[in-house]
Amino acid sequence: MAFWWPLLVLAFAFVICKFLLMLIPSNVPSIEVDASDVLDDGNQTKENSFIYIPSRRQTDKVQCYEPATMKYLGYFPALKADEVKERVAQARKAQKIWAKSSFKQRRQFLRILLKYIIEHQDLICEISSRDTGKTMVDASLGEIMTTCEKITWLLSEGERWLKPEYRSCGRSMLHKTAKVEFYPLGVIGAIVSWNYPFHNIFNPMLAAVFSGNSIVIKVSENASWSGCFYLQIIQTALTTVGAPENLVEVITGFAETGEALVSAVDKIIFVGSPGVGKMIMRKASDTLIPVTLELGGKDAFIVCEDVDVPHVAQIAARAALQSSGQNCAGAERFYVHKDIYPTFVAEVVKIVKSVTAGPPLVGKYDMGALCMQEHSEKLQNLVHDAVNKGAEIVCRGSVGNIGEGAVDQYFPPTVIVNVNHSMKLMQEEAFGPILPIMKFSSDEEVVKLANDSKYGLGCAVFSGSQRRAKRIASQLHCGLAAVNDFASTYMCQSLPFGGVKDSGFGRFAGIEGLRACCLVKAVVEDRWWPFIKTKIPKPIQYPIAENGFEFQEFLVEALYGLNIWDRLRALANVLKILTEQSTSTNKRRRE
C-alpha cells in the first residue's frame, strides 16, 4: 500500500488539474461573417423573390433556388477548365506556405471555426434548409453535430496521428529504426454532393487543412448558394490565424468544372453516384492521382424478434425519413423477423401517419422538400414497380399546405410491405422517404438477403442479444456496422467512413481519412550511427565468393528458422564461413 499511495495521489491530482483547466475559458477570437446576402428578412418584393422554374439545360451560370418554395436565390458562374486550373494554381502556392505551419496554428483555426459554428447554429441550419429543403432539426443533426464532432476529434487527436509512427524493424535490421512519416500531398480536390452542403464542405476541408494541404471543393449545382457562403466562414477564420489566401477554394459549375478539377489536383475525393464515380476514376487515371469514392448505399436495417419493438420502430422511421429521406442514403431495406413482422409494421405505420412534409422553415413540418428536380418522379416509379410486382402500400404520410407550383418537390413518407428482391425498390438507391419492409425467418436467411446488393456502405442490426447482433453484423459485406443503433459509426469521428462494391472504396474521416490526405513515407535510419552501420558480409561482396549462396542459406535460416536449435546451428555455420573467409583473405595478403 505504501508504494501505491503516492501514485494514487498523483493520479487524482492530475484529474483535478485537467478538470480545472476545462473550466478556464480558452482564448479564441470571434469572427464576423457578413450574412446579409443570404438572410431572408421577409422584406423581399415579388421582383427579387420570384418563383423559379429550373432549366433542363446547362448554361454558363448555376441557378439557385429554394426547393421548398421554388424561390429564386441567385446564380454563380459555371467555371471553365482554365479558370479551375488557375484556382488550383493559386491554392498550390498557398499550400507551400501552409505546409510549414505549426499544429498550434492549425488548432487555433479549428477552435475559431468551432466557436463560430456553436454561436451561429441557427444561421447555418437555415441556409442549409433553404438550399436543400431539409428541416432545421435534420440540419442540426447532420450538419452541425457531425462537424463539431470532427473538429473536436482533430483538436484532441489530430496531431498525434500525423506525427512519425515508429514500427518494428525486424530481425535482419535490428541495428536500424523504422518509422512512417506523413507529409501533405499538396492540393486536395473534392467534388461533393448536395445532401449535406455544410458538412460535405467542412469534412474534407478540415482533414486537408489540418494535415497541411490546400483544398479546392466543387460543390453540387444543387447546393451552390449555401456552399459559397460557407466558404466565407472558412476564409475569415483562415485570415484570422494568418493563413495564406486561396488555401481553401469553393468552385461552382457542372461536369466540365469537375473534370478540370480532377485533372489539376494531387488527390480527388468524390461523393456522389456510382456512374459519375466511374467517370472520375477514368479521368484520374490520366494523372494517376489517388481517388477516394463514396458512392451511396442501400443499407440494410435488420430487426430480430427479441427487440423492444416501439423503440426500434422509432429508430427505423428516423433512419428512413431523416432529412426528408432524400438528404441521406440512410436505411433503405428493412428486414424484420416474421414473428414480430405485423407488430413492427403496425408500429411504423403509427409513426409515419404522424409525419407531415412541408416547407421546412415554417417550423411545423417533420420533413421538407426534395432537393433535386423531378426526383419525386423517380421515387414514384420505384413504388409503382414494387406494387406491380405484388407489394402493398400500407401507409402514406401527409403533405402540408405548400402552395401552388411546388407540389412535385415533395414526396409523402411511404410504408410498403410484401416486398422482395425482384423489385427495383430493393435493389436501386432510392434516396427517398420510403420504408420497404421484408420478413425473414432465420439469421442465415437475413444475412443472405442483406448481402444480396450491389451496394455495401453500412448496416444496422438490432437484437435483444448483443452477441447475436454482432454475429449477424460481422457477416455483412459493408464498410460500416451499427449494433443495436443506427448511423452511430459516423458520430465516432475516429472511425473511417466508406464502403465496398458500388458504394465505393477508400476512406475519409477517422485516422485513415486524415492520413489519406498525406504522402505516407517509410523511413529507416541507423539506430547507433555512426558506430554501427550496415556492412555487406565478405562472402557476398563483389566478386561473390564460391560459397556466397551457401552463406545466404545459413543466414536466412539463422534469422527465420522455426526453432531455436536450427537457428543456432545455422548461426554457427554463418560464423564458420565468415571465419574461413577472413582467414583466406589474410593468407592472400601475406602471400
On the question of a cis peptide bond just before residue 543, with omega within 30 degrees of 0, the verdict is yes
Give the cell for residue 113: 471555426
**How far is it, in rounded angstroms, from Cα 250 to Cα 580?**
70
β-sheet with 248-251: strand ranges across: 248-251, 214-218, 187-191, 267-271, 291-294, 504-505
**59: Cβ–Cβ under 8 A, 6 or more apart, which residues?**
78
Q: Are strands 176-184 and 518-526 parallel, antiparallel or unpaired?
A: antiparallel
**How far is it, in rounded angstroms, from Cα 124 to Cα 248?**
19
On the question of a cis peptide bond just before residue 530, with omega within 30 degrees of 0, the verdict is yes
Alpha-carbon 105 to chain mean position: 24
Closest to 65 (Cα-Cα) out of 145, 14, 131, 5:
131
Residues across the chain:
591
**450: Cβ–Cβ under 8 A, 6 or more apart, which residues?**
300, 302, 333, 335, 459, 476
- Backbone phi and psi for residue 295, each to the nearest 5 degrees, phi listed first: -115, 25
Give the cell for residue 462: 438490432
Torsion 236-237-240-245 (CA) sign: negative
Alpha-carbon 498 to chain mean position: 6
Closest to 348 (Cα-Cα) out of 406, 303, 287:
303
Closest to 203 (Cα-Cα) out of 115, 286, 294:
294
The answer to whether the CB of 287 falls within 8 A of the CB of 448 is no
Which residue has 431539409 as its cell numbers? 134
Distances (CA, A) of 388 to 100, 345, 396, 420, 453: 62, 21, 18, 12, 21
**463: Cβ–Cβ under 8 A, 6 or more apart, which residues?**
304, 306, 307, 469, 472, 484
- Active site residue ranges: 294
The answer to whether the CB of 547 falls within 8 A of the CB of 535 is no
**How far is it, in rounded angstroms, from Cα 343 to Cα 35?**
49
**How far is it, in rounded angstroms, from Cα 329 to Cα 459?**
11
